[in-house]
Structure 1
Amino acid sequence: MAPEFPVVAAIQSASIKGDIATNLTRHLVLARQAAALGARLALFPELSLTGYEPEVAAAVAMRGGDVRLAPLAELAQGSGMTIVAGAPLRIDDALYIGAISFLPDGRVAEYTKQHLHEGEGAVFTAGPGGAALDIDSAQVALAVCADFTHSSHAQAAAQAGAALYAASVLVSPGGYAKDSEILRGYAEQYAMPVLMSNHGGPTGGWQSAGRSALWDERGRLVVESGPGECLVLASRTAGGWQGRVVAAA
């Protein structure tokens, strides 16, 4: 029998192009809602704090410890919940697609997208990735969108002992069937549950499919949202996985 797993939340948020202040305010509302629902992990979509907007990414890029994000760090500490938000990251002279994790102990961890989609290389640099997160002693491996299209990425996470593969994405309606099947397949192949957080609205000229989801260690769909802003929550107890979709506050 699989051990219990804490409540995790894929937060299907909508982003406004380059507007960090407004997007941050929305992140705080949705993350507080997730914490109130018992979540120990709040996973936002790819580049959630700025939108998936390559043309403005350099102008709105952040560095580690950006003071504007202090409210997310404070919320993580106060709630005991890890918050993973997406943003373009400036490290040295390179620009990366990043996932910034705010940890309950006050630390901030950075993950940089390892595999770029066609065209992203004109703006971004492929990154080295980052360490897995510890969520109540369970290892959670992060992925950002195109990372999961490389089977070696998920394989490495599984071999390192990940108890959950958490992907922040922008997936369009046309690409959803293929991409969701890849993620479902990893869950089944590696007996590693997969959580996917997609955008809740259009961004960067792309429509988003929404449909954030969790697949269990057998590759079975536990919960899937529709379009628009919402929270997808899932947890595992002795009776197995349970999931629900909650309307965004």
Structure 2
Amino acid sequence: MLIALAQIPGVPLDIEANVGAHVQAVEAAAAAGARLVLFPELSLTGYEIDGIASDPTRQLDDPATVDDERLRPLREACTLAGLTAVVGAPTRRAGRTYLSALALDGRGGVTVYDKRNLFGAEKDVFTAGTGGRTLTVCDRRLALGICFDLSDDDQAGAAAAGDAWMLGVLLTGPGYAADAARAAQVAQRHGVTVVLANHAGPSGGMVGCGGSGMWTADGGHVAADAGDQEQVAGVWLFDLDDAAVHRRIA
């Protein structure tokens, strides 16, 4: 199964502008034959924790049940392409704010996963999620996660019940080697393919270092680039069945 990892920069707190960039990535992925596109953590706003906390309009109201006009172009692009896009966004439900991944499928549906393992200042703004979410795409069971969830061995074990663990992340150059080693360790220990989509460029006072890629249970690893300060923005195609297959498509 072909998937795409969108290693793209974002406009801080501008959901409309970022939706436009997401649509372009979806279109490129569809043209290349991908059935799913994975975006970085908080891809629709950037990792702008203070701005998200101070301005509720930067949060999406319960996207599984409420139609937000700002998401309409992205929903339509997924429907037209017949693929699933997993995007990052802050969401608001019952007076609480969550750091979420939204899986927009090609039929107009939305699956929401809330980050369970919050990191640093996230704990002052977001409520931790309590459950897991698994998608079925082309008969593949794909578990969702977000960044620091990768550190949770119990969650990794649960993800191993499926075919792959898909995480949007924000990794920076100084810590990338350790995070990549953790992804490899999880993949081999639990027998599950780990897929990470990272930012490329500044986000919330940090610099996403790229290095989006796939780690397999047999020790295989392929990435968009080296995962350092020479990050490259773009969209890359990967094959869940063949780690040797990957190429830039946008």
Name the TM-score, length of structure 1 as normaliser.
Answer: 0.92
Query: Runs of 4+ in structure 1 displaced over 6 angstroms?
Result: none
Instruction: Summarize the Cα distance change of 1:126–1:136 in structure 2 as closer, same or farther, 3 Å threshold.
Output: same
Q: Is the 8 A contact 1:113 1:144 kept in 2?
A: yes
Q: Which amino acid aligns with 1:145?
A: C
**Alignment gaps of 5+ in structure 2:** none
CA contact (8 A) 1:232 1:243 kept: no
1:168-247 → structure 2 map (5 Å cutoff): 168-226=168-226, 227-237=231-241, 240-246=242-248
Whether 1:20 and 2:37 are equivalent positions in the alignment is no
Is 1:94 the counterpart of 2:96? The answer is yes
Residue 20 of structure 1: how far off its partner (Å):
0.9
Q: Following the alignment from structure 1 to structure 2, what is the Cα–Cα distance between the partners of residues 115 and 8?
A: 25
Q: Specify the code of the residue in structure 1 equivalent to 2:91.
A: L
Conserved? CA contact 1:9–1:34, under 8 Å: yes
Whole-angstrom CA distance in 1 between matches of 2:163 and 2:103 = 17
1:78-127 alpha-carbon deviations (Å, 9 max, x no partner): 11110011011001110010111101222111111001002211111111
1:55 aligns with 2:50: yes
Correspondent of 1:34 among 29, 32, 50: 29
1:190 is matched by which residue type in structure 2?
Answer: H
**Native 8 Å contact 1:32 1:75 kept in 2:** yes
What do you get for the CA RMSD once the two structures are aligned? Answer: 1.4
The Cα of 1:10 is off from its aligned counterpart by: 1.1
**1:223·1:245 contact (CA, 8 Å) conserved in 2?**
no
Separation in 2 of the partners of 1:82 and 1:247?
Answer: 17
Say whether 1:167 aligns with 2:162. no
CA–CA distance in structure 1, aligned partners of residues 178 and 223 of structure 2:
18
Please tell me whether the aligned partners of residues 61 and 88 of structure 1 are also in contact (alpha carbons under 8 angstroms). yes
Cα contact 1:225–1:232 (8 A) shared by 2: no
- Equivalent position amino acid for 2:209 in 1: A
How far off its partner does 1:31 sit? 1.3
The one-letter code matched in structure 1 to 2:137 is I
Give distance in 2, aligned partners of 1:223 and 1:207. 18
Q: Which structure 1 residue ranges, 5 or more long, are not aligned?
A: 1-5
Tell me the equivalent position of 1:131: 133
- Name the structure 2 match of 1:3: none
Question: Conserved in 2, the CA contact under 8 Å of 1:89 and 1:95?
Answer: yes
1:10 counterpart residue number? 5
Give aligned-pair identity as a percent. 35
8 Å contact 1:16–1:22 — kept in the other structure? yes
Name 1:112's counterpart in structure 2: 114
Contact kept? 2:224, 2:248, Cα under 8 Å = no
Specify whether residues 148 and 84 from structure 1 end up closer, same or farther in structure 2 by C-alpha distance, changes over 3 A only.
Answer: same
* 1:247 to 1:202, Cα distance in 2 relative to 1, 3 A: farther
CA deviation profile, 1:197-221 (whole Å, cap 9, x unmatched): 0001110000111110111221211
Q: How many residues align?
A: 239
CA distance in 2 between counterparts of 1:213 and 1:74 reads 27
CA contact (8 A) 1:225 1:245 kept: no
Q: Within 5 Å, which residues of 2 pair with 1:77-88? A: 77-88=79-90
Tell me how far 1:247 sits from its aligned partner.
5.5
